[in-house]
Amino acid sequence: AETLWIDRDVTMGSLQNGFGSQISRFQVVISTPGGPLSITGGHPRYADHKHKLGKLKFSPMGLGCYEQNTQIGPWFVAVNILPTTELVDFCFLRISPSLRSLDTGSGDWIAYRAGDLIIAIHPLGEKWEHATIEDQPILKIYGRRCGYLIHLTRTSPQQLSAYLRERRVEFRPGNETTRVTWRDGDNRELEFQTVPARDFPGNHRGQAFIDGKPVPFSTAIYNGPYVRLRDKVLEISDGKTGFVIDVSGKLPVYRPLAQRP
């Protein structure tokens, strides 16, 4: 499952794709006059999918080897549950050095600014520090249960300290579950499984709902008003205009949706 939050000059996206993932799960991309700026994060371990450590090859972008996450609008929360066999007891955020840091008035929050956008970060773990990984500046967060809460806001820098205090973030690792709570108008609470992510049993697929009705994923054939796949012909529309990709012949054929036969 993928989640995107898009504003006029920023996109925050995240991915839930089971465990043992060898890809990045999260990214913030900000458009600026000087070019795009980004934030990524995760654990530096490449997954081998065999429950073996092997030789560690660090990923400077951060991977989802041990990560459980969720995104709610401009809020993203990730928790890495590290097994006792994992020698690297931290996760990290790779933050573009072009982002300007802001004083939050709190030792619990770190903030950066791009134009009128503020990226507020609350580390979740035993301790954190600024460091480098393969010559890349990172925010390093330690602990067998470590992660971060990230919030995008356009609150003014003068009001930022009071604004963040009102969020009241709590990180509560437990024997069976690890909880993260905060306030965003209402109280929000997320619960993560405390067993190491790569050992988590059961079905890892999320369940999707539209208007309260479950969306079935039992078939890969789409048949909706915006995406339709039938007989090797893919139609994509925004409800007004669209295009067709026809791979029923020897070569793909592209055409506007209005010209479909």
Say if residue 155 is in the same domain as residue 250: no
Say if residue 107 is in the same domain as residue 175: yes
Say if residue 146 is in the same domain as residue 251: no
Say if residue 116 is in the same domain as residue 225: no
Token readout for 24 is: 């990045």
Specify the number of domains making up the chain.
Answer: 2
Say if residue 200 is in the same domain as residue 240: no
pLDDT, mean over the chain: 80
Residue 212 lies in a domain: no
Say if residue 120 is in the same domain as residue 182: yes
Note whether 15 and 26 are within 8 A (CB).
yes
Say if residue 132 is in the same domain as residue 193: yes
- Sorted by sequence, the CB contacts under 8 Å of residue 49 that are 6+ apart come out as 20, 22
Residue 164 lies in a domain: yes
pLDDT band at 246 (very low <50, low <70, confident <90, very high): very high
Q: What is the pLDDT of residues 19-73, one digit of tens each?
A: 545 566 788 999 999 889 999 888 887 655 554 444 555 666 677 777 888 888 8
Say if residue 99 is in the same domain as residue 193: yes
pLDDT at 243 over 50: yes
Residue 213 lies in a domain: no
pLDDT band at 204 (very low <50, low <70, confident <90, very high): very low
Q: Which amino acid belongs to residue 73?
A: G
Say if residue 141 is in the same domain as residue 243: no
Say if residue 113 is in the same domain as residue 227: no
Full domain range(s) for residue 223? 219-259
Q: What is the pLDDT of residues 124-178, one digit of tens each?
A: 999 999 998 777 788 999 999 999 999 999 999 999 999 998 888 888 887 767 8
What gap in Å lies between CA 38 and CA 184, rounded to an integer? 24
pLDDT of residue 118: 94
Say if residue 199 is in the same domain as residue 224: no
What gap in Å lies between CA 40 and CA 145, rounded to an integer? 19
Say if residue 31 is in the same domain as residue 122: yes
